Amino acid sequence: MDIPPSIPLINPRASYLACKEEIDAAIARVMESGRYILGQEVSAFEQEFAAYIGVRFGIGVGSGTEALHVALRACGIKPGDEVITVSHTAVATVAAIQLCGARPILVDINPNTFVIDVSQIERAITSRTKVIIPVHLYGNMVEMQTLRSIADRHGLRIVEDCAQSHGATYGGQKSGAWGNIAAFSFYPTKNLGAFGDAGMVVTNDPELSDRVRLLREYGWRQRYISEISGLNSRLDELQAAILRVKLKHLDQWNEERRKKAKIYTEMLAPLGVICPSEGFGVKHVYHLYVIRTKKRDALQEFLKKKGIETLIHYPVPIHLQKAYEDLGYRQGDLPLTEQCCLEILSLPFFPEMGEHEIEEVAESVRSFIESQ
């Protein structure tokens, strides 16, 4: 039997305990209401989250993957279209593109910020390109002002993948407010996490909002009558009620993440470890604290023996995975992405983590480096 780590990578239960009474009351309110799908809690959360992001419309859906899928479909993406994004992301980004029958076009990343290198985008644009998906990875943000200029110049739409960037800002504007439309995940480990799968699409465009609302429930505007071919992707009342509670604490939790990330960086950077860096004008919210080291595998094993849990987000870039061989990419096509995937390691990190635990992890990294 595996012994649980003394310092876990993440601890979703801690965020529940931090506001247990509020969450328990919200759950009870829903259970007693007798309305469990697309009721008042969902409507209220849609409005509250949209206001938090700084956009007009929020539409709750079943997951982050489905948020991307319906956002792309709302933009009219269909078979034969091309969508530009990165290979260094959760597979959901590419899966959502292929669910529309479109082709993912993958470009390299900035190895310092781990997000799309905007200077690589224009050379990837063809007559079939319809959308660019910037993935705001690990809590960092893409250089959206430059990306917006590129998209406008070529008549392309931007679908932001904000699954890991709740509350992050670029130029003082939150992730999700820069594109034509954006997708959020509320998976339990996210900065704003539900107690199951949940997602949200946000936009300022009333036509896109209307189309997403149709798409998420069979194309219905009137019950049982489908205007368009849709699907079933509904945010349930229970998750919405929980998320409404947790949204009130999100900024505080993000500040805790930034505070703890600063401690990690101050202790690890002098050791020669490559620590996370914020892009210019970005307020990073550190969904994950990801370092780079050429001795990643040995360090991970060393930390495991000390009871410190780590993970690799993500070990194999999408363009080199068996499921996506038909995209036609080969080893060496995205060299910076490939190199990062050999060196990255996510250290234990969550808002409720004690500073002494941060220091223990950092000291363990120091011990490893000094032993080499």
pLDDT tens, residue by residue, 191-222: 999 999 999 999 999 999 999 999 999 999 99
Could you give the C-alpha distances from 187 to 12, 64, 242, 244, in angstroms and in order? Answer: 10, 8, 12, 14
Q: Which residue has the tokens 């009219």?
A: 76
For 82-122, the pLDDT digits (tens) are 999 999 999 999 999 999 999 999 999 999 999 999 999 99
Rounded distance, CA 123 to CA 132, Å?
Answer: 13
Q: Which residue has the tokens 């007693």?
A: 32
Mean pLDDT of the chain: 97
Other C-beta atoms closer than 10 Å to the C-beta of 91 total 14
Q: Which residue has the tokens 């996506």?
A: 324
Residue 307 pLDDT exceeds 70: yes
Instruction: Please tell me the pTM assigned to this model.
Output: 0.97
Structural domains of the chain sorted by starting position, each given as residue range(s) with its CATH number in brackets:
13-107+114-247 (3.40.640.10), 250-371 (3.90.1150.10)
In this prediction, residue 4 has a pLDDT band, given cuts at 50, 70 and 90, of: confident
**Consecutive H or E run containing 285:** none
Residue 183 pLDDT exceeds 90: yes
Per-residue pLDDT at 201: 99
**Consecutive H or E run containing 98:** helix 92-99
Mention every residue, 6+ apart, whose C-beta is less than 8 A from residue 62. Answer: 197, 198, 199, 216, 232, 233, 234, 235
Rounded distance, CA 124 to CA 277, Å?
Answer: 26
Rounded distance, CA 278 to CA 282, Å?
Answer: 6
Per-residue pLDDT at 33: 97
The backbone torsions φ and ψ at residue 104, rounded to the nearest 5 degrees and listed phi first, read: -75, 130
For 23-42, the pLDDT digits (tens) are 999 999 999 999 999 999 99
Per-residue pLDDT at 279: 83
84 close to 133: Cβ distance less than 8 angstroms: yes
Other C-beta atoms closer than 10 Å to the C-beta of 8 total 18
In this prediction, residue 350 has a pLDDT band, given cuts at 50, 70 and 90, of: very high
For 116-160, the pLDDT digits (tens) are 999 999 999 999 999 999 999 999 999 999 999 999 999 999 999
Other C-beta atoms closer than 10 Å to the C-beta of 354 total 10
Per-residue pLDDT at 109: 98
In this prediction, residue 2 has a pLDDT band, given cuts at 50, 70 and 90, of: low
